[in-house]
Chains A and B, each alone.
Chain A
């Protein structure tokens, strides 16, 4: 009988016990997979797809302060700045407040030049640029609301009523774009020029600037140079990389990572105790048998390896199944995550690998003591115990 077959056969000695232990390890790693994914998503979700060569420039004292569009020319003079464009938070509701998605007035061509990961048909981009009331939607929005090109999209404004007090903005859908970066999905883009002309107040202002720089390594230097330009103006700025901006935003939601770690600690403490107890039980029952193996000439180390192997096999198997189930369930958790910020919520390979690694480690920790006792067992003592 091969070594593996022997270990495998031992697992079937008490099928109920093995399955129950396996299932509780599975449950622990199901939680591991889901909670780690959630924590990582919260910490970095809004920063997903952040590009190292893009900077975000916001108002210095509050992220929501508006900035004058006249800042652009000054910014373009800063050494290392390649391109500048802007976005503004529009707010507003489509039909019902529960239909949440982002809506930004942008400069059509400059926007798609700035974010090459958002891909749009050149013909549709031309149409977007030439239609004053034009708008383009991300592919997932088109699907979610069943929009077709040519549709009129009504948005009821909350922050930005029109000049005549009318709050109902209507945009002509002229195209759609795709992006493999989740955080750029769930967005409706429309013409800044139309927005600026029609809005009721604060003409000539924007929400924040996005700046592409020539050399990502010089990001802090360029950022400081931009902030220095406006330090003593009416509208001082604060510049950071896209990644810093996203992470700072995520940190506002709260320390989800700490919460996930807390829950996982409780779970693993329990599983450690449970499997440890099971392994100790399995060993106790088998002491005479181990003595027989030793009598037949199996070495001390080999017998110890059998015991350790059994616990590692059980934990790794449970871990694999749990992580696999978590990967299947991640799309379900995705809809939960969408309430906080757009961005695809899926299990990453590092999380899965870490899970299986932790599972194997758990097997080693749990099996170590029984394996050590099995190794030290003397034949005479063990046979006498019966």
Chain B
């Protein structure tokens, strides 16, 4: 039986070059589905991994009660000092969160760019931050270091350029990386300089903390909650970053699957069409084989295998196009939670490539099944007449 399957299939596949035009419909159709699916899902996974990247279980973020993002949060010096004096805190970094309008490179229109005022402690706390070009800013001066994503997405964010924030000119002196996290979409400046430039008088938007153990996060959250002097809320950093996505990852995924399913329906019709035509053109051949004693199963299997092989080829091509075309491609979008641009890279992961190929095989199987059954059910005598 398997020898028969092998024989018939091999014969089919050798004939393929004669049906190049119609076979390419399956390859291109399914290639298109897989390419689009993998590209859109790569966008979602890239966005998600940017959000996940920043979280450290021993770090926490303190915001004003009722705020779940830094933009809407603010606290005064006194509050900051109370929090900084709590037990279990290794490092405390008050940070000021501002937004500046800067034109994007791609569109030339203004978009919201985060400007974060940080003190010296911030670099000890955010140990993933590393200057990759230029130098750190000098405390006390109007200097900026720019994240890699901000540098890539915004016009004029280059070393030596100046940016106007409020009334003064600030000079960009360095570019930093932060392990691919959302910080790379920001500009960082010296906190005291920013406080006086923005007339904020010692206040900050949030306090970032490094704690002596991950268990401390829960204890400290409770302590802050119950302190009558404070109207604050503490989030573990992992939870905090997860909230910043605002469901965008799922929205992109839903969109990707919706488009891919609609395209897949079209691709299955195309595959059915092609495989029916292939079966019709081989009517006499199939009937001859059957007359010679080949069973129905090898005929079904051969049509299915042909369809799935073409689909797999399409899937490989589609996945390759997404991988070489989009992997690492940087884009940015407006994050709902922080009301500012967050830059991220498309991430075409091995799992996505595998899923793409599974889709291709599935679509190929669906497209081949009905034509295969029809081929197997052809009455031999009628078919031999070539009608």
Contacts and interface: CB of A to CB of B under 8 A. Distances in A.
Interface in B36-89: 36, 64-69, 71-74
Nearest to A23: B269
Contacts of B111: 251-252
Interface in A78-110: 91, 97
Interface in B76-127: 98-101, 104, 106-107, 109-112
Contact of A263 (B36, B74, B104): B36
Interface in B229-273: 231, 247, 251, 254-255, 259, 262-263, 265-267, 269-270, 272-273
A257 to B, nearest CB: 11
A170 interface: no
Contact of A274 (B72, B100, B273): B273
B251 A339 contact: yes
A251 B67 contact: no
B377 interface: no
Given A27-B262, A31-B263, A254-B333, A62 B28 contact: no
Contact of A273 (B24, B71, B167, B331): B24
A257 B123 CA distance: 39
B341 A270 contact: no
B259 A270 contact: no
A156 B66 contact: yes
B356 to A, nearest CB: 14
Contacts of B332: 254
A17 B371 CA distance: 12
A217 to B, nearest CB: 23
Contact of A62 (B99, B263, B269, B331): B99
A261 interface: no
A37 to B, nearest CB: 13
A23 B69 CA distance: 48
B66 A161 contact: yes
A255 interface: yes
A21 B334 CA distance: 40
A28 interface: yes
Contact of B109 (A17, A251, A273): A251
Nearest to B64: A161
Interface in A96-147: 97
A248 B110 contact: yes
B66 A270 contact: no
The majority secondary structure among interface residues of chain B is mixed
Contact of A61 (B73, B101, B272): B101
B155 interface: no
A278 B24 CA distance: 12
A74 B24 CA distance: 69
A24 B334 CA distance: 35
A34 B265 CA distance: 15
A241 to B, nearest CB: 14
A61 B273 contact: no
Contact of B112 (A62, A266, A271): A62
B68 to A, nearest CB: 7
A7 to B, nearest CB: 20
Contact of A270 (B29, B71, B104, B110): B29
18 contacts: A20-B270, A21-B273, A24-B267, A27-B265, A27-B269, A61-B100, A61-B101, A63-B110, A63-B112, A156-B66, A165-B231, A167-B65, A248-B109, A267-B263, A267-B266, A269-B28, A273-B25, A280-B21
Given A97-B68, A252-B341, A274-B273, 11 more contacts: A34-B262, A61-B166, A63-B101, A158-B66, A159-B72, A161-B231, A251-B104, A252-B112, A266-B263, A274-B270, A277-B22
* Top-8 shortest CB links A-B: A27-B266, A159-B72, A24-B269, A266-B32, A20-B273, A158-B72, A252-B334, A254-B333
